[in-house]
Amino acid sequence: MESTAAQVKVNFTTTHEDLQLPENKRQLLVPSDIKRYGLSRILNSESMLNTSAPVPLDFLVNGTFLRTTLEEYLQTEGLSSETTITLQYVRSLLPPTYEASFQHDDWVASVDVLSATSAAGRWSGEDLIQGQDRILSASYDGLVRIWDGSGSALATSAAARGGGHAKMLTSAKFLSSTQIASAGLDQKIVVWKYTEAADRLSGELKPTLELHGHKQKINSLAAHGPSKRLLTASNDGTVGFWLASKKAVDADAEDIPATHTAKRARVASSVTVPQKGAARASSPRTANARGGRRAAFPPRRKRTVGLIRPRPDHTLRTLEPERRRASSRR
């Protein structure tokens, strides 16, 4: 006599309004040895969603995609077979398809996107045209580039003599559709104004501001467009908090790298832009004496708080720039 698989009670939920099940169909007994594909077939049946065409579905259990049978999931979690499993179903994401390559002369350190759904796009408050997204890249060759979706470079930043960077870049971010910030090994942040031709086939990056204060390489740069604020994490062990505006405080002379050596003189900029300092900077002890790898603004927070994950001790620290102190450590 053939044995039948045990059954498990599941509760189906979704956030897709067009894929909602009737209330009386959301709980179901299914075989315990079923996997994602079988669950997707059940939901696509005529007695369930009854869609005009099959909709490939993935399933989340407590925020994690289900990649095993339900029985294996219960065993892994140490749960009874009588447990009701809540499955959140979502549309499966198709594998990405190749569209274009964006060739650089050296390694690419950072990318950012300007689109209708990106943070910078929302900050810009403009009706960005679908299909005319812009991609920002920062490279080890010290240059910032703006690309269109087909892989054509619309604008390339100037090198050191034109007001750009003298060394490799580590990060670049959109503050808006017309303002960009970049940072790297030369310890400074450059704020750029980006303008695009009427035909949208070319553009120009013009340096408008330099921000000085770090003593070593800047590892990470985060931007908050509405407030024009920037956050950086550096190898010097500090977190910098900056205002990307000419209203920012002037930079201390000692924070601006000297240009008296022959090598620095050769790369000295022929373009003069305002040089500003940090609005706030954490002490090395508050951040980490050996440097921070990442800095970020938390989303949807009313207070201005920065996050830094120091490199050596594997911790995540929450900093309050206004109070110049660490508020928590994780």
CATH number, domain of 60, equals 3.10.20.90
Total structural domains within the chain? 2
The DSSP line for 77-108 is HT--TTPPEEEEEEEPPPPP--------SS-E
Biggest CA pair distance of the chain: 91
84 and 120 assigned to the same domain: no
187 and 298 assigned to the same domain: yes
Structural domain of 305: 108-329
121 and 265 assigned to the same domain: yes
Distance separating alpha carbons of residues 258 and 252, to the nearest angstrom: 12
28 and 164 assigned to the same domain: no
187 and 49 assigned to the same domain: no
List the pLDDT tens digit at each of the 330 positions of the chain. Answer: 344 669 999 999 999 999 999 999 999 999 999 999 999 999 999 999 988 889 999 999 998 999 999 999 999 999 998 999 999 999 998 777 888 889 898 999 999 999 988 889 888 877 677 778 999 999 999 999 999 988 999 999 999 999 999 999 999 999 999 999 999 999 999 999 999 999 989 999 999 999 999 999 999 999 999 999 999 999 988 889 999 999 998 988 888 876 434 355 445 567 789 999 988 776 655 444 455 677 777 665 544 455 555 545 566 666 665 555 554 555
Q: Which one-letter amino acid corresponds to residue 26?
A: R
Residue 235 is part of a domain; what is its CATH number?
2.130.10.10
84 and 176 assigned to the same domain: no
Q: Which one-letter amino acid corresponds to residue 49?
A: L
Distance separating alpha carbons of residues 328 and 217, to the nearest angstrom: 25
Q: What is the pTM of this model?
A: 0.68
Give domain status of residue 136, yes or no.
Answer: yes
274 and 176 assigned to the same domain: yes
Give domain status of residue 117, yes or no.
Answer: yes
Q: Of 32, 66, 91, which one is at a domain's C-terminal end?
A: 91
143 and 258 assigned to the same domain: yes
Give domain status of residue 103, yes or no.
Answer: no
- The runs of H, that is alpha helices, within the chain are 36-43, 70-77, 119-124, 262-266
